[in-house]
């Protein structure tokens, strides 16, 4: 008999109705309606970091637009603008994931509707967490792999010899690295400022509608919230000296609890939400997003083009057939009782599209970046 989180839910199920008289077919319909909403909206964080696609690979231009008009002449013909088709070939993995309910008829007979619906809610939440961890795992892990068609599945730039395209006079070499060890055991303002510069120097976060996000765990968020312009952002602790000096103030968002300031705020306060995602506040031009999915001791600066934008750093690959896209609920073998042995299934995969659109930082006194084990991407 299975024990723990996985196995059969026994001695308490139903045939046609739950113990409190709710028809199982109505619960089946409610769950499918919930899946429709889930698949339409997905996670707010996932949509800001990824671009949905059904392709196994793309040739993605890595250069950010540098087209400029020339002065018109009376008799000459203007230069023709074109999009650079010499893109980097990037691949995306794909895997199928599933989880069965396997509720016996006795379980369904004796359970009330809340128990049955609660199980389904936990499963849906589990798939949501899986997609977020998979996307963040691809961002935070520099390991390059291949998909089933031997297309390279990249992480961010990691000093592997690939030269990023030049941008606004900035040129780069094959040592460009977007996986950084901070050199201190506590996050400080220069870590964030340097990471943001690595992204913007390559043209990301500068196009209309794009935005720089600082993704932090609650542990690092507490530090960020204390930063004040002109003050040391890393207090003296243990053997570490204080510093560096913050260039900006952390300003709480509109959704923050009421607070007092000795001076007036100059400029617009960050909104309480950014495309549906709660915003903790702002540091300079970055919106600070707190997430439990970012491991403690790490943070990322990401340029997003908005929900599901093709400028987002990661691709979210789905099956080419619409019937197999999103999270699906597959009925059990008995048509009259679809909840029995029903299966939740979702197929997806990821890969980095824009290698320069994000920077991941490990907060460590060491000099070598090591990907977080909790997000190890495979």
Nearest of 150, 100, 155, 144 to residue 126 by alpha carbon: 100
Bigger pLDDT: 266 vs 310: 310
| Residue pLDDT, tens place only, 283-297 | 999 999 999 889 999
User: How large a percentage of the chain has pLDDT more than 70?
Assistant: 82
Of 75-79, 334-338, 373-377, the poorest mean pLDDT is in 75-79
- Is 348 within 8 Å of 135 (Cβ atoms)? no
Intra-chain end-to-end CA distance of the chain, in Å: 31
> Could you give the maximum distance between any two Cα atoms of the chain, in Å?
87
Quote the CA–CA distance of 134 and 127 in Å, as a whole number: 10
Q: What is the DSSP letter of 226?
A: T
Rounded average pLDDT over 314-319: 97
User: How large a percentage of the chain has pLDDT more than 90?
Assistant: 57
Quote the CA–CA distance of 253 and 273 in Å, as a whole number: 8
Bigger pLDDT: 358 vs 256: 358
Give the pLDDT score at 120: 83
Residues in the chain: 378
Is the backbone of residue 4 left (phi > 0), alpha (psi -120 to 50) or beta? left
Rounded average pLDDT over 165-193: 94
Give the pLDDT score at 261: 62
Quote the CA–CA distance of 147 and 49 in Å, as a whole number: 20
Structure tokens at 14: 């139903």
Nearest of 231, 59, 91, 88 to residue 165 by alpha carbon: 88
How many C-alpha atoms does 261 have within 13 Å on its Cβ side?
Answer: 11
Structure tokens at 378: 């495979």
Q: Is the pLDDT of residue 305 over 90?
A: yes
| Cis check: omega of the bond before 28, within 30 degrees of 0 | no
- Is 274 within 8 Å of 211 (Cβ atoms)? yes
Quote the CA–CA distance of 205 and 212 in Å, as a whole number: 6
Q: C-alpha angle with apex 209: 205 to 213, nearest 5 degrees? A: 45
Q: C-alpha angle with apex 17: 15 to 21, nearest 5 degrees? A: 150
Give the pLDDT score at 137: 95
Structure tokens at 223: 């530090």
- Is 315 within 8 Å of 54 (Cβ atoms)? no
Provide the CATH number for the domain formed by 24-60+90-375 in this structure: 3.90.1690
- Is 275 within 8 Å of 312 (Cβ atoms)? no
| Residue pLDDT, tens place only, 122-170 | 888 889 889 999 999 999 999 999 999 999 999 999 999 999 999 988 8
Q: Is the pLDDT of residue 13 over 50?
A: no
Bigger pLDDT: 230 vs 104: 230
Rounded average pLDDT over 327-334: 85
Nearest of 201, 188, 213 to residue 157 by alpha carbon: 201
Summary mean pLDDT of the chain? 85
Bigger pLDDT: 309 vs 75: 309
| Alpha-carbon distance values, 159 to 166, 172, 201 (Å) | 16, 11, 16
Quote the CA–CA distance of 168 and 205 in Å, as a whole number: 14
| Residue pLDDT, tens place only, 220-237 | 999 999 999 999 998 766
The model carries a pTM of 0.84
State the helix-helix crossing angle for 113-140 and 24-41, rounded to 10 degrees. Answer: 20
Q: Is the pLDDT of residue 77 over 70?
A: no
């Amino acid at each position: 008999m299975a024990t723990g989180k996985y196995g059969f839910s026994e001695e308490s199920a139903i045939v046609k109705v739950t113990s409190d008289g709710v028809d199982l077919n109505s619960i089946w319909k409610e769950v499918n309606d919930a899946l429709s909403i889930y698949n339409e909206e997905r996670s707010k964080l996932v949509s800001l970091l990824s671009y949905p696609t059904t392709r196994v690979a793309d040739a993605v231009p890595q250069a950010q637009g540098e087209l400029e008009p020339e002065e018109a002449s009376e008799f000459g013909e203007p230069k023709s603008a074109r999009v650079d088709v010499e893109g980097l070939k990037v691949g995306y993995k794909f895997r199928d994931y599933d989880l069965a309910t396997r509720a016996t008829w006795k379980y369904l007979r004796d359970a009330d509707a809340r128990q049955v619906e609660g199980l389904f809610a936990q499963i849906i939440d589990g798939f949501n967490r899986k997609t977020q961890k998979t996307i963040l795992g691809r961002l935070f892990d520099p390991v390059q792999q291949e998909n089933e068609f031997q297309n390279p599945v990249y992480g961010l730039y990691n000093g592997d010899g690939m030269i990023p395209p030049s941008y606004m006079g900035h040129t780069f070499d094959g040592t460009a690295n977007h996986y950084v060890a901070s050199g201190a055991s506590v996050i400080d303002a220069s870590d964030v400022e340097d990471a943001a510069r690595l992204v913007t120097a390559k043209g990301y976060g500068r196009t209309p509608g794009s935005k720089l996000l600082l993704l932090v765990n609650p542990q690092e968020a507490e530090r960020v919230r204390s930063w004040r312009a002109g003050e040391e952002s890393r207090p003296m602790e243990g053997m570490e000296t204080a510093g560096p000096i913050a260039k900006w103030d952390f300003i709480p968002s509109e959704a923050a609890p009421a607070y007092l300031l000795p001076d007036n705020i100059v400029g617009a306060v960050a909104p309480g939400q950014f495309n549906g995602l709660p915003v903790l506040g702002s540091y300079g031009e970055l919106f600070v997003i707190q997430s439990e999915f970012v491991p403690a001791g790490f943070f990322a600066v990401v340029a997003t083009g908005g929900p599901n934008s093709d400028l987002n750093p990661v691709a979210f690959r789905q099956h080419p057939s619409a019937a197999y896209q999103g999270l699906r609920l597959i009925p059990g073998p008995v048509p009259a009782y679809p909840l029995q042995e029903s299966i939740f299934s979702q197929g997806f995969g990821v890969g980095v599209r824009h290698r320069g659109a994000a920077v991941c930082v490990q907060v460590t006194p060491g000099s070598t970046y090591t990907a977080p084990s909790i997000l190890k991407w495979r």
